[in-house]
Amino acid sequence: MQTVAGKLMKVFLTRRIPPEGMKILSAAGVCEVSQWDSDEPVQRADLLKGVQGAHGLLCLLSDKIDAEVLDAAGPNLKVISTLSVGYDHLAIDEIKKRGIRVGYTPDVLTDATAELTVALLLATARRLPEGVEEVKNGGWSSWKPLWLCGYGLSGSTVGVIGLGRIGMAIARRLMPFGVKRLLYSGRTAKDYAAEVNGEYVPLDTLVSESDFIVVSCSLTPETQGMCDKAFFSKMKNTGVFVNSSRGTVVNQEDLYEALSSGQIAAAGLDVTTPEPLPTNHPLLTLKNCVVLPHIGSATYSTRGIMGALSAQNLLGGLQGTDMPSELTF
Ligand code: NDP
Ligand code: DGY
């Protein structure tokens, strides 16, 4: 059993995690686990207290891990394992400076997130939440030629912003719907885009020529606030906008204006700012805006695999061995 000076290493978990992950941590017998034993986020003060003296930290995307947390943890901290593929909540420069290793969960959630994004796109473009509501509230009086019409994918142009793991999985799923052109933008052209006949274009071209825009990039200083007034003003009036990356890629005031003025047709968001979105938020008053509570990776099996992977990453970092998914920076 690998321990520090004969003692078990201390790890702090900022939330209840899937049982698949807990089993791996218990079976390893190398760490003493303390945990914020709740399905709700840890308060900042409890995070700062819980992490004290920890050798390992397992966190979620809702935990901001910055210099204050690292200082509170102290010099023992060897590894941070996040139960997510996105790592914009981690102060990477600070973490790197202190030689702390980082584990994350790429690939294992790609299919689930792509599937949800396609579901959100279809629900938004074909107005499913409105239709369900009309059935329940008696608004369904008859089959009417012009009632609840939306936009279809057949013959359309789709633009994917960020053709990474998830963006590519979304494109693969959309092509069989009869998409005519698949545009994508990002920092570099991708060889693998050939599989979906992807055309690498400048962002402006993608925005003005697409019928459907899907945002699946990572949140970085360059992508923060990227979808703003200027962006929406270049979209077609019939355009449908979908975001399953991070909420702050979008300027929500500008999105509200674009949706309520008819500048764009509809939007589907799996991610917002803040999360949760307050129930009195203006976006929630719009029929042409479908908002989901950040459930891209939420299948039972995906969350179980994410739990297991985050536990294995944590153990690798504690023991100084390979981590199955280590973030290299
Ligand atoms: P990848 O790293 O594989 O893909 C990220 C993509 O973002 C890359 O293709 C990259 O393009 C692109 N990108 C980076 N900078 C820019 C930019 N300035 N403009 C346009 N594109 C850019 O990550 P994943 O596909 O695995 O995950 C993507 C993101 O999805 C995560 O970071 C996370 O925020 C979000 N996510 C959301 C989930 C949900 O539940 N809604 C679930 C899982 C992930 P390039 O290679 O050219 O730099
Ligand atoms: C991630 O992993 O980054 C998602 O947002 C949640 O699965």
Of the listed ranges 5-9, 187-191, 293-297, the least confidently predicted one is 5-9
Q: Which helix (H) or strand (E) holds 79?
A: strand 79-82
Three-state SS for 124? helix
Per-residue pLDDT reduced to its tens digit, 113-138 = 999 999 999 999 999 999 999 999 99
Q: Is 161 in the pocket of ligand 1 (CB under 6 A)?
A: yes
Using most ligand atoms within 8 A of CB, pick from 63, 83, 113, 219 the residue to mutate for ligand 2.
113
* Percent of the chain's residues with pLDDT above 90: 98
Query: How far is CA 116 from each of CA 35, 67, 181, 290, rounded to the nearest angstrom?
Result: 30, 34, 22, 13
Neighbours of 97 (CB within 10 A): 11
Mean pLDDT within 190-197: 98
Angle between helices 110-125 and 128-137 (to 10 degrees): 60
Q: Which residue's alpha carbon is at the smallest distance from atom 4 of ligand 2?
A: 84
Per-residue pLDDT reduced to its tens digit, 249-304 = 999 999 999 999 999 999 999 999 999 999 999 999 999 999 999 999 999 999 99
Is the pTM for the entire model greater than 0.90? yes
Per-residue pLDDT reduced to its tens digit, 19-74 = 999 999 999 999 999 999 999 999 999 999 999 999 999 999 999 999 999 999 99
Q: Which helix (H) or strand (E) holds 188?
A: none
ipTM value: 0.99
Exposed/middle/buried for 200, CB within 10 Å: 0-12, 13-18, 19+? middle
Confidence of residue 1 (pLDDT cuts 50, 70, 90): very low
Q: Which residues are catalytic?
A: 294
Confidence of residue 2 (pLDDT cuts 50, 70, 90): very low
Mean pLDDT within 137-148: 98
Question: What is the CA(168)–ligand 1 centre distance, in A?
Answer: 10
Residues 6 or more apart from 282 whose CB is under 8 A from it?
Answer: 256
Question: What is the CA(25)–ligand 2 centre distance, in A?
Answer: 21
Question: What is the CA(255)–ligand 2 centre distance, in A?
Answer: 23
Q: Is 292 in the pocket of ligand 2 (CB under 6 A)?
A: no
Mean pLDDT within 222-235: 98
